[in-house]
A and B are shown apart, each in its own frame.
Chain A
């Protein structure tokens, strides 16, 4: 998953319009992995909820998304330049958006990345498509 040739990353302003862009980027990568469209839709929703949660917890100027993928799974990490204290808070881990991201994806984590950036990452495995 750490092969840089399969990594996409984007820094955007922390606005609702940018979240729209991020979810479309994520959907584009998932589509190229041959993910079925219901899974692509779940990835879109998970990106949105993760961004919502980050922005609810601490005001931020900038959001970053990085995507790593291999043949069977996509791993998406969102982080912000906000400074929630602490991260992840108990409140965040008991919140609705967190529950939704968890429910939509196969693995989910909340930690610090790139030094001090609060982040939410998730992995979604592709359903095997019968042909």
Chain B
């Protein structure tokens, strides 16, 4: 199915419907007419761990946005314009959830629940929660929590590396203060050549943690970020280093 063949109506009939906007019945007719296009792209993005219902809903939202923003005088067929908007909406959906990795659905749902519970407990308690604490707050088994924490590792590594909307920086780089600078010894950097390739903030955190021997809590205070973030950044950057060393 190509975007151009998305509609059973002629381009002229579609153009007529657009001329009737903002008449709600014309909007409904357009939405109905192009729903198969939204469903088509929702299916194309399925199988990545997000429920198809959510994807269809997201795609439909993209379609409605396309209907509201389309300018028939620009000479672009609506289906082409709508396809781009729908795909954009679906991509944003995945980006917002940070799920670039394929994780089975129930593990993923548990992971989202555990992540949320963990964050709020971490904040409430002022320290990292234990697995039993998370299990009881989320009302799930301790094994489920462990499994979710394992899945979340892949998840955080990935989402923090993903480009943010500001394409020039990643989320990991833009956390916290920007103007702290450190003299990092050359000798230390030579221990693991890949350290030089890490974003500055991660390199700094590793330096404070493994050269100056500071605790996560101390680093969190020094950099003005949460301890949870420090913990994640430490894991993430160690994984990256190991990946590059090939060990």
Complex CA distance for A24 and B148, rounded to whole angstroms: 12
Contact B149 A103 (CB under 8 A): no
**A 108-131 to B, binary, CB cutoff 8 A, 1 in contact else 0:** 000000000000000000010110
Complex CA distance for A99 and B185, rounded to whole angstroms: 15
Complex CA distance for A127 and B231, rounded to whole angstroms: 15
Given the interface pairs A28-B146, A103-B209, the reply to whether A39 lies near B128 with Cβ below 8 Å is: yes
Contact A100 B210 (CB under 8 A): yes
Of listed A34, A35, A95, A103, residue having the most chain B CB within 10 A: A103
* Residues in A neighbouring B210, C-beta threshold 8 A: 99-100, 102-103
Count of chain B residues with a beta carbon within 8 Å of a chain A beta carbon: 32
State the total of A-B contacts with C-beta under 8 angstroms.
76
Give the dominant DSSP class at B's interface.
helix
Interface residues of B in 198-245 (CB under 8 A from A): 209-210, 213, 216, 227-228, 231, 234-235, 238, 241-242, 245
When the two chains form the complex, which single residue of A37, A39, A99 contacts B118, counting CB atoms closer than 8 Å? A37
Contact B142 A31 (CB under 8 A): yes
Stretch at the interface among B22-30, B53-61, B130-138, B168-176: B130-138
When the two chains form the complex, which single residue of B130, B192, B245 contacts A129, counting CB atoms closer than 8 Å? B130
Give chain B nearest CB distance to A51 CB in angstroms: 9
Interface residues of B in 32-50 (CB under 8 A from A): none
Task: List 4 A-B pairs, minimum CB-CB distance, nearest first.
Answer: A36-B128, A38-B128, A31-B131, A96-B192
